[in-house]
Structure formats: C-alpha cells, structure tokens
Amino acid sequence: MLANTFGQTQTAVPADAPIVTATSIDAERRYDDAQFSAQTIHETERQKVVLGYFEPGQFIPVHAPDSDVAITVVSGSGVIRDGETDHAVEPGSVAVVPAGTERGVKADDGERLEATLVTAPPPTDAEHEPVRRGLQTGQFDPD
C-alpha cells in the first residue's frame, strides 16, 4: 500500500488506487489578464475539481450544464448566479447549484476572486459552448 500525506494526515490506499491530488490555492495560482483562469487539479469521469482565479470583473459566463457544481469562495468577493438569482459571495461562502440550472461566477470590480469549483459529472465540451461565447463577447449572461 502507498501512503498519501497532506499536512499531518496520512492515509493508506490500495496499490492500484490513483495517487491523491494534494496541492494548494497558492501553489496553483495563475491569473490571466484576458479571462478567468481555471486550473484543473483533478478529473475523472465522475467529477472535476478546478481552482478558479478571477481578476476584478472577470467571470465564468452563465450556462446550464447537466452537472451539479459546488463552489467555495476562498478569497475576494463577487456573485454566483443560481437560476435567476445572483447571490453575493465572500470568503467562506459555499454555493451548490444543481444540474441543468443556470450558473455563473463573477468577481466584483474592486478585487480578485479565488474559488474552488467541483462539478459532478464533468460538463461536456458542448455544454461549455455558452461559456466560450460569453468570453468571446464579454457577456456574463450570453443568452
């Protein structure tokens, strides 16, 4: 068996199990002046874990993939769209949006936003077409 260590916690796992991803918000931090930065730290057919880094005013455009998403704000402030409602978020805020429901994330104009985004299952490329369209046109809600 292999041992995975993160902080003070050590967990034994079967030899054929995938190695646990252990990283940090600081280690993965990447910003892009053109659009939000999504650093995928883990992906399987069942889930995808992304660390999102947003410059002030940057966003993930509104879209409605057939996957649940749990978003935890680590730093900064902004809004998370859940259906027709925009929720103000700050460090420690957690938002869960069910599959098929419109969602988007936008950093406030005055500061950066950092968040974890866990989707299950991962959205398809076709489901992310509204995201690409919104980024190309600079629209938070492209439809």
Average pLDDT rounded to a whole number, residues 70-88: 97
Q: Give pTM, 2 decimals.
A: 0.84
Of 6-15, 47-56, 105-114, which range is least confident? 6-15
* 39-58 confidence digits (pLDDT tens): 999 999 999 999 999 999 99
Average pLDDT rounded to a whole number, residues 63-74: 98
Is the confidence at residue 108, as pLDDT, over 70? yes
Is the confidence at residue 2, as pLDDT, over 70? no
Centroid of chain to Cα 110: 20
Nearest to 77 by CA among 65, 89, 66, 86: 89
Average pLDDT rounded to a whole number, residues 65-86: 97
Is the confidence at residue 119, as pLDDT, over 70? yes
Average pLDDT rounded to a whole number, residues 104-112: 97
Is the confidence at residue 120, as pLDDT, over 60? yes
Are the CB atoms for 99 and 67 separated by under 8 Å?
yes
Average pLDDT rounded to a whole number, residues 129-143: 92
Q: What residues are paired with 81 via a beta bridge? A: 86, 104
Is the confidence at residue 7, as pLDDT, over 50? no
* Residue 134: CB atoms within 10 Å: 21
Q: Give the chain's domains with CATH numbers.
A: 21-137 (2.60.120.10)
